[in-house]
Structure 1
Amino acid sequence: MSAAASTRHVPHHRSGGVLAAWAAGATGIVAQMIFPFTDGGTPTLTILSVMLLATASLVHVTVTRGPVALLALVVVAGGGGLVAEAVGVHTGVPFGSYAYAGTLGPQVIGVPAVVPLAWLMMAYPALLVARRLIGRHRAAVPVVAAWALTSWDVFLDPQMVDAGHWRWAHPTPSLPGVDDIPLTNFAGWLVVSLVMCVLLDRLVGPPRRGPGDALPFTVFLWVYASSVLAHLAFFGRPPVALVGAIVMGVVAIPLAVDLWRHRRQR
């Protein structure tokens, strides 16, 4: 769905917010398109893309769900991500022992400020994707959303480790094909993501009448498809591309099929 189409029947005072969200998302995607030609992304590109896509989520949740949902997203996803990472980097719980290299800009309590923005950036699309796929089975929404969010890290962590942004003290045992990233990391992500998504599902309400959720769905599918392609063709990690394609594809492929079917029925 185009940005123009998504603004139909939207009150004038909100249509500008819809366009701003799409503009931020599109610019963030363009920034990520440059990653493969810079050896996995420079720190500046990495920070810029996360900030833009996080902005897209923040503007979209404000326009479609209001200020209470915005506050919930900032506190639960942004604040919760910061707390989890701060505890993790200082204690090794729940992700395992790791250290940041100091290459990702300013830090807050030992965590690069961009990192909680990354949690926020993808927690919101993951929640909405789960709601779209699960429908009436509400109890399962946080579980599917947590899987969607955690599966993204199968792509993210190898890329960031290879770029030298952080390192693991004990990188084994690891997922088959995802070398240098311990299983404890994904277990920790799943736990944190589940707590985060349970809270978000309670606090972030359904959309108002208007633009719908085409933007977060687009961001989620873009991250999936581009991550598979990047690891397969540019980052020198075909096994990561395969494992990530399967693990994140559990959610991304049904979403793509559902959207395609819905479009054909219109």
Structure 2
Amino acid sequence: MTRGLPWLGLGLLILAQICYPLTGGGARAALTITTVALGYLLSVSHAALTRGPRVATALVLVTTGGGLLVEAAGVSSGFPFGDYAYSDALGPKIAGVPVVIPLAWTWMAWPAWLAAVRLVRHPAARILVAGVGLAAWDLFLDPQMVAEGYWTWSDPSPSLPGVPDVPLGNYAGWLVVAVLMMALFAGLAGPTSPGRDAPMYALYLWTYYSSILAHAAFLGLPASAGWGALAMGLVAVPLTFRVRAWPR
């Protein structure tokens, strides 16, 4: 029974994301919160089921707790993501940060980590690849959320061509924080062990390919579709070939 739970969770998450372009306004914001909550529960429960409570606890402490700390520092000081602020659309806040935001860090940190575990063996390289795999997601996430008005920067320049509302410094901040998170998580979680990770590979690859399609075809964000495809593809494309090469 427990073997199928991650696949069920992934199916619910995909269904919620498919509905996203079909909604707007308050309904879209509510669906965004629901999607993040589903993704969070999926990642944390998969970590607990396949690696045990120690790894799941480390994941929550580092990525949920750490995400809240770094986001609170960001909105109060402008470091390390730039001077930005959240609207009230995403629900209750702690220290100026919607509660749902640190959950999003955890949601994608776990599949990014497992993708890196699958792709590379050297511990330092694994931390770097996992950090890139998490940070690259932001090239999809931030343009989409800014377009919805969920947060804004006071001075978004310089920025990537075609993505004028998100400063370059934000992406750099994401990369540094993501790598540090992965390094801390690797130290707390202990050695990796075999697990049933196919649902998390599917989550990472679904996020990548569906984000390209959604941004290019449904959300009117073709530039972020291209930048996200390039950046997240550094991990997603090798993972795709690795998954395809598995014996059948």
The TM-score bracket by the shorter chain reads over 0.9
Q: Identity of counterpart residues, as a percentage?
A: 48
Question: Aligned ranges for residues 68-107 of structure 1 at < 5 Å?
Answer: 68-107=54-93
Whether 2:165 is the aligned partner of 1:161: answer: no
Instruction: Please tell me whether residue 140 in structure 1 is matched to residue 140 in structure 2.
Output: no
Residue type of the alignment partner of 1:247:
A
- One-letter code of the match for 2:140? F
Distance 1:193 1:181 in 2: 18
> How far off is 1:56 after superposition?
0.6
Quick one: distance in 2 between partners of 1:89 and 1:20? 36
**Residues in 2 aligned to 1:178 and 1:219: alpha-carbon distance in whole angstroms:** 25
Counterpart Cα distance in 1 of 2:186 and 2:161: 32
| CA contact 1:85–1:111 (8 Å) conserved in 2 | yes
Q: 1:198 aligns with which of 183, 193, 201?
A: 183
2:47 aligned residue (61, 70, 82): 61
Cα distance, 1:73 vs. partner? 0.6
Say if 1:100 and 1:167, in contact at 8 Å, map to a contact too.
Answer: yes
* Map of 1:9 onto structure 2: none
1:22 Cα offset (Å): 2.3
Whichever residue aligns with residue 36 of structure 1, its letter is P
Name which of 206, 228, 235 aligns with 2:212: 228
Structure-1 separation of matches of 2:206 and 2:163: 21
Moved >3 Å (runs of 4+) = none
* 1:131 corresponds to which of 117, 122, 126: 117
Q: What's the offset of the Cα at 1:98?
A: 0.2
Aligned to 2:103: 117
| CA distance in 2 between partners of 1:48 and 1:193 (Å) | 23
2:135 to 135, 143, 150: 150
Q: Deviations over 1:74-120 (max 9, x none)?
A: 10000000000000001100000000011101111211010000000
Q: Could you tell me which residue of structure 2 aligns to residue 33 of structure 1?
A: 18
Q: Distance in 1 between matches of 2:60 and 2:75?
A: 21
* 2:224 is equivalent to residue 253 of structure 1: no
CA distance in structure 2 between the aligned counterparts of 1:173 and 1:50, rounded to whole angstroms: 29
1:189-220: CA deviation from partner (whole Å, max 9, x where unpaired):
01110110001122334235xx5201111110
Q: CA RMSD in A?
A: 1.4
> Could you report, residue by residue, the CA deviation over 1:212-247 in whole angstroms, capped at 9, with x for unpaired residues?
201111110011011100110011111111111111
- Over 3 Å counting, the alpha-carbon distance change for 1:236 and 1:39 in structure 2 is farther
User: 1-side partners of 2:139 and 2:76: how far apart?
Assistant: 22
- Secondary structure in 2 aligned to 1:181? strand
User: 1:6 maps to what in 2?
Assistant: none
Aligned counterpart, 2:164: 179
Q: Tell me by how many angstroms 1:176 deviates.
A: 2.3
Q: Distance in 2 between matches of 1:108 and 1:57?
A: 22
TM-score by length of 2: 0.95
Deviates more, 1:241-250 or 1:33-42: 33-42
Aligned residue pairs, count? 246
How far apart are the structure 2 equivalents of 1:124 and 1:70? 10
Runs of at least 5 residues in structure 2 that lack an aligned partner in the other structure: none
Measure how far apart 1:39 and its partner are: 4.6
Is 1:45–2:31 an aligned residue pair?
yes
TM-score (norm 1): 0.89
Following TM superposition, by how much is the alpha carbon of 1:38 offset from its aligned partner in structure 2, in angstroms?
2.0
